[in-house]
Structure 1
Amino acid sequence: MKVIILSDNIASEQLKQEWGLGIFIEYEGKNILLDTGASKLYLDNAKKLDIDIRKVDYGVLSHAHYDHANGMESFFHENKEAKFYLRAGSGENCYIKFGIFSHYIGIRKGTLETYKDRILFVDGDYELIPGVTLIPHKTSNLAMIGKKNRMYIKKEGKWYPDDFSHEQSLVFETEKGLVILNSCCHTGADMIIREVAKTFNNKHIYAIIGGFHLYNASHEEVKALANRIKDTGIEKVYTGHCTGEKSYKILKEQLGEKLEQFKVGLTIEV
């Protein structure tokens, strides 16, 4: 299994950065694209890395936010065959809300209708191919986390705290154990690790790869999360994007060699 970061907040060499995430995965002869960043930058970086997006077999959207979905249009123009898999709870309706003020952070309006023949909505645990499964959240009361983070869903003119029913993990079975990719881990990386462990009857989890949504978290919150991640027994943690530089340093102090920073162009082999 090979994982290559195409879009992230940190660049390397001749590659460019943005606030977004896009990841290319090779697994058992198949190519999977997880997210498309905030623009077509992931596509430009892929070309510089000699990765042919036309050869992607499956596209997956981790959740319905612009910094993961806004490159979808460029994907559909470049790749004429692959379907994109979204959680059934996904819509063009995600916002950040401050009192009476709101800011749209969702999938670009019109995308789901324009490309409906290329998009598949999935429910429950969904086997993409043998050894690769899409996993939804299975913990109750997640809307409390959405409310705390001022994240809301707007439906029929009404506001609801985001319960992250549009978020999913991409889980791979490898010889070293399970590898989880969850692009922002809004509900907490430790919760996601435990949800996946329970889903797979406590099979060993080798690694988690993704952003941890800690860019505005306090020192105490980050340290507590690091300790909870440690308690899961996971071997490797790769993070970037919305984790933030300050929080990454705190995580590194707690997790040591378990933790690695990802950036555009980084290749992870399992």
Structure 2
Amino acid sequence: MKLTVLVDNNVYIDHYYYGEPALSFFIEDEEEAILFDTGYSHVFFENAKKLGIDLTRSNRLVLSHGHNDHTGGLVHIDTLFTQQKPEIVAHPLTFFPKRAEEGVIGSPESAEKLQRNYTLTLSKEPLAISKNITFLGEIPQLVDFEPRQQVGETKLTDTYTADYVLDDSALVFTGKDGLYIITGCSHSGICNICEYAKKVTGINKIMGVIGGFHLFDEDEQLEKTIQYLKENNIPELFPCHCVSFAAKSAIHQEIPIGEVGVGMCVEWE
């Protein structure tokens, strides 16, 4: 499997790609290709062109959750996918309206609109999306130090209610030596996600994790996350997007982490 970072908050020095506070990955699993999240704007598309990546190869477009820093690029996909249309895979709550103090934070496209031109698969259950990659669906609470936290509000009926981002999901790649976790923001908790990936696959060894860990403060949750990562002895860790410098530094003092930036590629077997 090969993963290329199309969008991240960070861009490497002397690598002239576009960055934005968002996330998008292009994933190749043998002959199949997956676009994972679309960032906030057109940047995912522009960076792919600069990297020589043909996004029209994508069999599936998978969304980690409904926030606009992961779904904003959806407004550009009709221009991109003019002939072969990828299947769009997401949690059923992904496209409901979302708002916070700063305004609208949900997907700019509705499920109804997307269904006119795309096959839209909405699943709370784990779903195989390529030979070796599984969409995890809804992540249950499996560790006690990662309670779900409210992020704004969502409109599921006629009124807005507290949003605990139940639509937050992730991917797991089953490699020859263990599991590799690919996350968007980890609103479900990065350790919850890892534990659920183990449960879904029946494999306990995690070889790598890349994506947003949603860690900002030096607090008890961060301490217990670091302890979990150490106990699981994960060789490759790539926290990015929604992880503060303080959190990355605290993790790196205990476990070496890799730097992520637009254009980065990782290859896992």
**What TM-score do the two structures reach when normalised by structure 1?**
0.88
* SS state at 1:33 partner: strand
Report the number of matched residues.
260
Tell me if the contact between 1:133 and 1:170 (Cα under 8 Å) persists in the aligned partners: yes
Counterpart position of 1:70? 72
Identify unmatched segments of 5+ residues in structure 1. none
- Please show how residues 22-37 of structure 1 align to structure 2 within 5 Å: 22-37=24-39
More strand by share: 1
Distance in 2 between the 1:76 and 1:205 partners? Answer: 36
Please tell me whether residue 84 in structure 1 is matched to residue 88 in structure 2.
yes
Tell me if the contact between 2:166 and 2:188 (Cα under 8 Å) persists in the aligned partners: no
CA offset at residue 218 of structure 1?
A: 2.8
Counterpart position of 1:145? 148
- Please show how residues 152-191 of structure 1 align to structure 2 within 5 Å: 152-191=153-192
Identify unmatched segments of 5+ residues in structure 2. none
Q: Write the letter of the residue equivalent to 1:21.
A: L
CA offset at residue 138 of structure 1?
A: 4.0
Please tell me whether residue 237 in structure 1 is matched to residue 241 in structure 2.
no
Distance in 2 between the 1:145 and 1:218 partners? Answer: 18
Please tell me whether residue 224 in structure 1 is matched to residue 227 in structure 2.
no
Counterpart position of 1:20? 22
Distance in 1 between the 2:204 and 2:229 partners? Answer: 16
Q: Provide the aligned C-alpha RMSD in A.
A: 2.2
Tell me if the contact between 1:136 and 1:165 (Cα under 8 Å) persists in the aligned partners: no
CA offset at residue 41 of structure 1?
A: 0.3
| Structure-2 change in CA distance of 1:228 and 1:95 (3 Å) | farther
**What TM-score do the two structures reach when normalised by structure 2?**
0.88
Distance in 2 between the 1:95 and 1:146 partners? Answer: 15
Deviations 1:170-198 (A, max 9, x none): 11111232111111111321111111111
Counterpart position of 2:60? 58
Deviations 1:50-78 (A, max 9, x none): 00111212110010000000101212320
Tell me if the contact between 1:146 and 1:152 (Cα under 8 Å) persists in the aligned partners: no
Deviations 1:29-63 (A, max 9, x none): 11111000000101101100000111212110010
Counterpart position of 1:113? 112
Deviations 1:109-165 (A, max 9, x none): x44222213132123111112222111234249995223xx4332223434333433
CA offset at residue 87 of structure 1?
A: 1.1
* SS state at 1:90 partner: coil
Please tell me whether residue 11 in structure 1 is matched to residue 15 in structure 2.
no
* SS state at 1:47 partner: helix
| Structure-2 change in CA distance of 1:184 and 1:138 (3 Å) | closer
Counterpart position of 1:253? 253
Tell me if the contact between 1:144 and 1:163 (Cα under 8 Å) persists in the aligned partners: no
Counterpart position of 2:43? 41
Counterpart position of 1:213? 214
Counterpart position of 2:200? 199
Distance in 1 between the 2:21 and 2:141 partners? Answer: 30
Tell me if the contact between 2:38 and 2:44 (Cα under 8 Å) persists in the aligned partners: yes
Tell me if the contact between 1:177 and 1:204 (Cα under 8 Å) persists in the aligned partners: yes
